């Protein structure tokens, strides 16, 4: 039997896992459901991902790129003298106003680390990536507090179905940056 060359198979499996979790939650994901969704043999999923945690890790890495990328790619946020609170609130608003199912999926996978310790390093990397992006404007402790506020507001919006209030977010983020700081968060 000739083996078929399929360089995109691993990515197709990850994409399939994203769709499975998006439809049915994390509990719906298995090697079997990912294989069926990707239309690949079951052995392909176990070849590329030895455990379900490895597949979840790859899935989490893929979906968590959205918000982090929006922060990192924000030219207004990286500009010297940026109004960090206003720009971060704007980026968060655009992200939350986008594909709600994708945002929910991102948080579902992120919070899966509570029960799956193997996913905690990925969740920590996601948080650290945003902290690093904010490091040009605030010390590490303040940047972590900003990320915590973003998470808190985002979860409240998602869990309570309340509309996102950009002005409230800007005000709360500005409070974390503290009084007497320049627009870029530095004293």
Considering the domain boundaries, does residue 187 fall inside one? Answer: no
Task: State whether 46 and 129 are in the same domain.
Answer: no
Closest to 168 in 3D by CA, of 148, 153, 187: 153
Task: State whether 78 and 146 are in the same domain.
Answer: yes
Task: State whether 146 and 169 are in the same domain.
Answer: yes
Work out the burial of residue 176: count CB atoms within 10 Å of its CB; fewer than 13 is exposed, 13-18 middle, 19 or more buried: buried
Q: Where are the alpha helices (DSSP H) in the chain?
A: 9-24, 31-38, 42-48, 52-63, 65-72, 75-78, 84-97, 100-111, 120-134, 140-160, 166-177
Considering the domain boundaries, does residue 36 fall inside one? Answer: yes
Considering the domain boundaries, does residue 132 fall inside one? Answer: yes
Distance CA 90, CA 92 (A): 5
CATH number at residue 108: 1.10.357.10
Considering the domain boundaries, does residue 95 fall inside one? Answer: yes
pLDDT at 2: 45
Task: State whether 47 and 72 are in the same domain.
Answer: no
Token pair for 36? 């069926």
Considering the domain boundaries, does residue 76 fall inside one? Answer: yes
pLDDT at 3: 55
What domain count does the chain have? Answer: 2
Task: State whether 46 and 130 are in the same domain.
Answer: no
Considering the domain boundaries, does residue 1 fall inside one? Answer: no
Task: State whether 42 and 77 are in the same domain.
Answer: no
Task: State whether 40 and 14 are in the same domain.
Answer: yes
Rounded to the nearest angstrom, the gap between the alpha carbon of residue 49 and the centroid of all alpha carbons in its chain is 21
pLDDT at 182: 43
Task: State whether 78 and 163 are in the same domain.
Answer: yes
What residues make up the domain containing 124?
64-177
User: Do residues 29 and 52 make contact, with C-beta atoms less than 8 angstroms apart?
Assistant: yes
pLDDT at 171: 96
CATH number at residue 25: 1.10.10.60
Task: State whether 36 and 114 are in the same domain.
Answer: no
pLDDT at 136: 79
User: Do residues 154 and 92 make contact, with C-beta atoms less than 8 angstroms apart?
Assistant: yes
pLDDT in tens, the chain (187 residues): 445 677 899 999 999 999 999 899 889 999 999 999 999 999 999 999 999 999 998 988 888 777 777 887 787 777 777 899 999 999 999 999 988 888 888 888 888 888 889 889 988 888 888 888 888 788 999 999 999 999 999 999 999 989 999 999 999 999 999 874 444 444 4
pLDDT at 184: 46
Task: State whether 36 and 127 are in the same domain.
Answer: no
């Amino acid at each position: 039997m000739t083996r078929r060359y399929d360089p995109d198979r691993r990515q197709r499996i990850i994409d399939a896992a994203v769709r499975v979790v998006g439809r049915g939650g994390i509990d719906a994901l298995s090697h079997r459901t990912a294989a069926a969704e990707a239309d690949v043999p079951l052995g392909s999923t176990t070849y590329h991902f030895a455990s379900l945690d490895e597949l979840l890790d790859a899935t989490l890495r893929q979906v968590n790129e959205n918000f982090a990328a929006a922060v990192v790619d924000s030219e207004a946020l990286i500009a010297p003298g940026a109004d960090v609170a206003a720009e971060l609130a704007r980026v968060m608003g655009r992200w939350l106003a986008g594909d709600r199912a994708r945002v929910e999926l991102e948080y579902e996978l992120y919070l899966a680390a509570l029960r799956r310790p193997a996913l905690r390093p990925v969740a920590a990397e996601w948080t650290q990536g945003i902290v690093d992006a904010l490091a040009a404007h605030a010390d590490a402790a303040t940047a972590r507090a900003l990320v915590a506020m973003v998470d808190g507001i985002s979860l409240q919006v998602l869990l309570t179905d309340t509309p996102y209030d950009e002005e409230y977010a800007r005000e709360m983020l500005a409070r974390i940056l503290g009084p007497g700081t320049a627009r870029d968060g530095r004293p």
